[in-house]
Structure 1
Amino acid sequence: MPDPDVILVGVVPRQLGHVLEKAAEFASRFDAMLVCARVDPSRYVVERFTDGRFTSMPIDPDLADLRIEIFDESLRDRIASILEPTGVRWSVQPLVGDPSHELAALADRVDALMIVVGTRAPGFRGTLQEFFTGSVAAHLAHRQHRPLVVVPNPETRTNAPPPWETGK
């Protein structure tokens, strides 16, 4: 039996619901499996094993904490509560490193039909984080070849002028 088509979704705990719901809708329409990937940017890969597992270390040299990465169980439970009622096939994948690079690399490994991500968190904290780290969606749009779906934050006002017109 051939491998199922895959849609990759980048999961961030604070924007989980609306992004997963939209990704599940796409997975259902494409009869695809949903791979939910969480990227920890504070760590880097040390060694990859043939079974897909890997070890990682923190970027901070004061925290010498080599470990085999596993997906956070509480996040997996939250994902399950959203996806199980949809009937979509799904799995989880922990990643470490630069989010855009790691999501693109995983998309290559699973030959994803598309990558689904959310927009940044609204407010000062999200703007500040994007200033220092850049937009994952923008990086993905320019550094990989798959279709990219960016799910807007549900708090976005459609009648508000865009940030470049207001100077915010």
Structure 2
Amino acid sequence: MIQVGDKLPAGSLKEFIEVEGDGCSLGPNTFDIGQATQGKTIALFALPGAFTPTCSAKHVPGYVEQAPALREAGVDEIWCVSVNDAFVMGAWARDQRTAGAVRMMADGSADFTRAVGLTLDLAAHGMGLRSQRYSMLVVDGVVRTLNVEAPGKFEVSDAATLLAQARQQRSA
């Protein structure tokens, strides 16, 4: 499992782009993790799946709500990572009204999730291999804080926790 002080693994994530611009075409676009995190502070949170109860009712809305405060605390971008395809993440982004607040990053084949060692086997529930619920503050591609939830919990990966950690990192 990835640890504080580790660099994020090489690889890519996909994001469904609604509006053409900044060299991105409409639809799914691939982003290199190393390039996308270079020189930036990223509030990254991951969850088991799009449109699932806790993820839709609490996790994503908390980050959308706290986006201005996270930016004031020095966060350049907020990423939501899930083992879903870019089309599903795009639909979920529209449903959750994340535009301008949270980038909905698809890890369709769980490559990133495997590389960070935070997989969750939900095959018994018909969902296959997914991501554990966690959050991390990433500075220039290096993990500065990591909050991994116990199975079935939503206590430490929320936006308020990561916001407090971002403020602490900024004042350090």
TM-score grouping bracket, smaller chain normalisation: 0.3 to 0.5
Per the normalisation by structure 2, the TM-score is 0.38
Larger Rg: 1
Compare the two structures and name the one with the higher helix fraction: 1
